Amino acid sequence: MNRSLFLIAFLTSGLLVPAAAQNASAPRPAAQPASTPSAPVTAQPAKVAVIAFQVAVAQTNEGQRDFADLEKKFEPRRDKLKQESDEIDTLTKQLQAQQANLSETEQQSRARVIDEKKRQFDRDQQDAQSDFQQAMQDLYNSLASKVYDVMEAYAQLKGFTLVLDISQQQSPVLFASEGTNITKEVIDAYNQKSGVPAPPAQSNVPEAPTPRPAQPSATH
């Protein structure tokens, strides 16, 4: 099983920002008299930021701590799978080495034992992967909702009118200047709010990606 926090990149936040409900049956206000001038409408200038949201969740102190605890929780099952795999390899090598000196009945008997152990290993591995992925998804969803609240508050404080997620594989962002990337700022703000201390330095925590411009095609 993959023990790296890069698994977070394959998870989706599932966060939705609901649109304001509108009542179609509500009566419209009466028209203003012609003599009353309408109030001028001033368009608010757009201020856009980008964030690698999934990476932000994984890089918070709380995220690093909780994902590390989750991996430790699954270590016994991972060790058991390794033992099963090693046993299958040993039995297979023994059968191959001793095959010339074994009767056909003994060969078939040992082959059936190996096949049964392989089937059991496949079941155990699938169960472990499914349980780990579900636990990872549940942990991520719980933490992501809290990080989202901090991100929203930060964006409003800084006057951003739109925040785009660049951690999605289908992100529409082709380019953004580094100054618009608020990933680190949101991580720092969340760490300060949560009060969770920083864990020991890890080399397998993904870095926040920076969107790059699309390469123009060569012209002749």
> 9, 17, 60: which is closest to 167 by C-alpha?
9
Query: Cα(175)–Cα(209) distance, rounded to whole angstroms?
Result: 11
- The residue ranking higher by pLDDT, 202 or 151, is 151
Output the pLDDT for position 171: 84
pLDDT at 169: 80
18-60, pLDDT tens digit by residue? Answer: 322 233 333 344 445 555 556 565 666 789 999 999 999 999 9
Q: pLDDT, tens digit, for every residue of 128-140?
A: 999 999 999 999 9
Q: What are phi and psi of 183, to 5 degrees?
A: -55, -55
Neighbours of 185 (CB within 10 A): 17
d(CA 84, CA 213): 48
The pLDDT confidence band at residue 170, using thresholds 50, 70 and 90, is: confident
| pLDDT-wise least confident of 92-96, 152-156, 210-214 | 210-214
- pLDDT tens-place string over residues 82-141: 999 999 999 999 999 999 999 999 999 999 999 999 999 999 999 999 999 999 999 999
Element (H, E) at 119: helix 104-158
Residue 136: burial class (beta carbons within 10 Å; 0-12, 13-18, 19+): buried
- Candidate ranges 40-44, 73-77, 200-204; pick with highest mean pLDDT: 73-77
Tokens of 77: 């099952």
**Cβ–Cβ < 8 Å for 51, 15:** no
Query: For residues 160 and 45, what is the distance between their CA atoms, to the nearest angstrom?
Result: 10
| Cβ–Cβ < 8 Å for 21, 152 | no
User: Can you give 165-184 as a three-state secondary structure string?
Assistant: ECCCCCCCCCCCCHHHECHH
Cβ-contact 30, 155 below 8 angstroms? no
